[in-house]
Amino acid sequence: MNKPMAVRALWVAGVMAMSSVYASEKPTLSISWPPPDAAITPGADKEKAVGVVVKSNFQLKPAGQCGGQANCGHIHMKIDPQDDSCNIPGKPYNSMNSDTGGELIKARFGYCKRVTGRHVIGVLLADDHHRPVLWEGKPVTALVAVDVK
């Protein structure tokens, strides 16, 4: 099993332990930027943030703004989702767009124990209540491996 697939398997196992919600139609989620194996330079800010652009057939709105609307939610992100080494202290994630919605989310490499080098950015589609969206029993996720300079 290659590393991105192994990372996805570990992340999915952790997510499945959480409560979740099933989608009514097949959800799509992808990372359109950065592309796979991109060399990226983190921001000069304390969080060393890099913008990540996602695409989904779900409407990406701030948490609590879907009002029961089907196919609506937001994104949770983990960097190196096989462990918690890049999470915000005390949080089970590195970032999410639950405050803003939309297709842009920050990857905050400044929280990683090791900023430079190879990392995997993982995103997960969540519903209005932060529960993972499932399709065919599996959470809807996307991964991209990058090299941080």
Per-domain residue ranges of the chain: 29-148
Percent helix, percent strand, percent coil in the chain, to nearest 5: 10, 40, 50
Beta bridge partners of 146: 38, 119
Both tokens of 124, joined, read: 């997960």
Per-residue pLDDT of the chain (149 residues; tens, 9 = 90+): 555 555 555 455 444 444 555 656 789 999 999 999 999 999 999 999 999 999 999 999 999 999 988 899 999 999 999 999 999 999 999 999 988 999 999 999 999 999 999 999 999 999 989 999 999 999 999 999 999 99
pTM for the model:
0.85
DSSP per position, 78-100: EESTTSSTTSPTTSS-SEE-TTT
- Domain 29-148: state its class: mainly beta
